[in-house]
């Protein structure tokens, strides 16, 4: 819908998730579509990880780090910002562990909205903070954690003319469900299992909604079991009570009282799935496995999908499906790009050696 002057966009070019899936989304002819051509992310076959599980397993990585702001949040944000524009909003607000704020800031820039971002002090990965700031959001840190920040923005949006664009906003969930559609369109069936990290629990809610809708539309004939993973120090859903002081190196999912807690439990129960916890060291091991063996760079929270999958495999969860004639498809959402958190990447590797600028010095160290 953008005004591109005399230049006509080619008709068949990709225009983002709202344009592709408008039939399944609550938009009207009057909705101004604010898009950065988000979505249409690759589903990468993970050869090494598949081999860990066994011959009749195929593991695919839904690489959401390739969205325009580097995370899955863009799918929901195009909907939330477009609907905010339709409703005449002038400003939006969110609390964030980083990715929501980066996405809200970018889509607000595109849609000419003021964007206010409330973040927990000192708990945002560097790349995400840079994004919110460079897109000119008003960024405010609070002395508290994500859950405190979320209650502040809820109160503000209840009392002032600013639209809340956290995943409590139902349009966020609507946009995010398109990831499930893409997976089914690509595979031409539903996966048997779907693994993903769980923080505020919006994404597991959205995927499950997407799969159920595609099933209702007869686009797929089965539903996956949803396998969600929280970080051990921030695992309220696993423990069954809110965590006052959540802890984990995966700052994106450092959340003690998820807004979509009930919906996440619904997805788990209806899909006969589970929500488990993985330790920081399991997350880091999966993070390294993805980068070193699969060539895919994600942020730590995203690696929780793979950490959880490998832990389930080790514990025998998949044993009853092994050596079966049927082929099992497992999809894992990799929610954010590795460049979001360069500090953790640098911390988890050795500092490169410094040698004189001579061929023999490099050859010696590189063992050529």
Q: Token match 């959880």: residue? A: 308
Is the distance from CB of 251 to CB of 120 less than 8 angstroms?
A: no
> What contacts 191, CB < 8 A, 6 or more positions away?
60, 183, 224, 329, 330, 331
Q: How far is the CB of 197 from ligand AN7 (least distance, A)?
A: 4
Q: In whole angstroms, what is the distance from residue 206 CA to residue 75 CA?
A: 11
Q: How far is the CB of 82 from ligand AN7 (least distance, A)?
A: 19
| 44, β-bridge pairs | 61
Structure tokens belonging to residue 244: 């006052």
Nearer to ligand AN7, 184 or 259 (CB): 259
Nearer to ligand AN7, 301 or 330 (CB): 301
DSSP 237-259: HHHTS--SS---S-GGG--SS-T
Nearer to ligand AN7, 16 or 70 (CB): 70
Is the distance from CB of 172 to CB of 84 less than 8 angstroms?
A: no
Q: How far is the CB of 231 from ligand AN7 (least distance, A)?
A: 10
Nearer to ligand AN7, 155 or 327 (CB): 155
Structure tokens belonging to residue 231: 């970080």
Q: How far is the CB of 172 from ligand AN7 (least distance, A)?
A: 9
Q: How far is the CB of 106 from ligand AN7 (least distance, A)?
A: 13
Structure tokens belonging to residue 221: 């004939």
Nearer to ligand AN7, 253 or 283 (CB): 253
Is the distance from CB of 146 to CB of 123 less than 8 angstroms?
A: yes
Q: How far is the CB of 66 from ligand AN7 (least distance, A)?
A: 13
Is the distance from CB of 115 to CB of 207 less than 8 angstroms?
A: no
To the nearest 10 degrees (0 to 180), the angle between helices 202-216 and 178-187 is: 50
Q: How far is the CB of 237 from ligand AN7 (least distance, A)?
A: 10
Nearer to ligand AN7, 99 or 331 (CB): 99
Q: How far is the CB of 323 from ligand AN7 (least distance, A)?
A: 33
Q: In whole angstroms, what is the distance from residue 104 CA to residue 171 CA?
A: 13
Query: Which residues in this chain contact ligand AN7 in the complex, by CB under 6 A?
Result: 71, 96-100, 167, 197-203, 252-253, 299, 301-302, 335-336
Q: How far is the CB of 104 from ligand AN7 (least distance, A)?
A: 9
DSSP 122-180: T-S-HHHHHHHHHTT-EEEEESS-HHHHHHHHHHHHHHSS-EE-STTSHHHHHHHTHHH
Q: In whole angstroms, what is the distance from residue 223 CA to residue 193 CA?
A: 9
The residue length of the chain stands at 368
Burial of 165 (0-12, 13-18, 19+ CB in 10 A): buried
Is the distance from CB of 93 to CB of 358 less than 8 angstroms?
A: no
Nearer to ligand AN7, 111 or 258 (CB): 258
Nearer to ligand AN7, 31 or 331 (CB): 331
Q: Token match 């562990």: residue? A: 97
Q: How far is the CB of 336 from ligand AN7 (least distance, A)?
A: 3
Nearer to ligand AN7, 178 or 335 (CB): 335
Is the distance from CB of 167 to CB of 94 less than 8 angstroms?
A: no
Nearer to ligand AN7, 44 or 86 (CB): 44
């Amino acid at each position: 819908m953008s005004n591109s002057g005399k230049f006509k966009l080619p008709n068949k070019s990709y225009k983002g998730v709202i344009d592709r899936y408008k039939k399944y989304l609550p938009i009207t002819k009057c909705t101004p579509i604010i898009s950065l051509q988000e979505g249409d992310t690759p589903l990468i076959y993970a050869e090494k990880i598949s081999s860990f599980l066994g011959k009749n397993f195929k593991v695919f990585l839904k690489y959401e780090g390739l969205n325009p702001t580097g995370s899955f949040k863009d799918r929901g944000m195009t909907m939330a910002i477009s609907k905010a524009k339709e409703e005449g909003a002038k400003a939006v607000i969110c609390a964030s562990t980083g990715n929501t704020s980066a996405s809200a800031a970018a889509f607000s820039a595109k849609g000419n909205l003021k964007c206010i971002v409330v973040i927990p002090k000192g708990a945002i990965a560097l790349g995400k903070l840079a994004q919110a700031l460079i897109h000119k959001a008003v960024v405010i840190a609070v002395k508290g954690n994500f859950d405190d920040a979320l209650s502040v923005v809820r109160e503000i949006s209840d009392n002032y003319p600013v639209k809340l664009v956290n995943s409590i906003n139902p349009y966020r969930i609507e946009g995010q469900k398109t990831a499930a559609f893409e997976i089914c369109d690509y595979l031409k069936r539903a996966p048997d299992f779907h693994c993903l990290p769980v923080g505020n629990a919006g994404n597991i809610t959205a995927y499950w909604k997407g799969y159920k809708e595609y099933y209702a539309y007869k686009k797929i004939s089965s539903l996956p079991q949803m396998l969600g993973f929280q970080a051990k120090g921030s695992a309220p859903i696993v423990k069954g009570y809110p965590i006052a002081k959540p802890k984990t190196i995966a700052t994106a999912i450092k959340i003690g009282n998820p807004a979509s807690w009930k919906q996440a439990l619904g997805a788990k129960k209806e899909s006969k799935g589970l929500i488990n916890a993985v330790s920081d060291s399991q997350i880091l091991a999966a993070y390294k496995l993805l980068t070193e063996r699969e060539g895919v760079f994600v942020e730590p929270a995203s690696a929780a999908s793979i950490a959880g999958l490998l832990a389930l495999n080790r514990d025998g969860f998949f044993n009853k499906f092994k050596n079966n004639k049927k082929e099992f498809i497992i999809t894992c959402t990799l929610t954010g790009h590795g460049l979001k958190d360069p500090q953790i990447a640098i911390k988890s590797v050795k500092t490169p050696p410094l040698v004189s600028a001579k061929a023999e010095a490099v050859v010696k160290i590189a063992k050529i």
